[in-house]
């Protein structure tokens, strides 16, 4: 398991858990739910913000928000 903030562009991941934080409810309201799959679309040059595809829309997260989301990498990337 790794942080969502560490995932490379184009990778699909499954959300394993969201760490306890005052941001946890906010992340869940934005559609980041345990067990769902998301795809990292792109990151800004220094990794902040991060754009992900979740539930049919693009969501932008700050690096510290993405670090709260623990994920498991899937075996494929864009185009595979």
**Domain boundaries, given as residue ranges, for the chain:** 2-77
pTM: 0.85
Cβ-proximal residues to 6 (8 Å cutoff; 6+ apart), any chain: none
Extract the residue ranges of the chain whose pLDDT is less than 50.
80
Q: How far apart are CA 76 and CA 70, in angstroms?
A: 18
> What is the model's pLDDT at position 75?
63
> What is the model's pLDDT at position 80?
47
Assigned CATH for 2-77: 2.30.30.90
């Amino acid at each position: 398991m790794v942080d969502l903030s560490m995932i490379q562009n184009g990778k699909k991941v499954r959300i394993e858990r969201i760490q306890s934080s005052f941001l946890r409810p906010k992340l869940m309201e934005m559609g980041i739910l345990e067990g769902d799959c998301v795809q990292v679309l792109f990151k800004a040059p220094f990794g902040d913000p991060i754009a992900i595809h979740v539930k049919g829309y693009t969501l932008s997260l700050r690096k510290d928000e993405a670090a709260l989301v623990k994920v498991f990498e899937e075996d494929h990337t864009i185009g595979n």
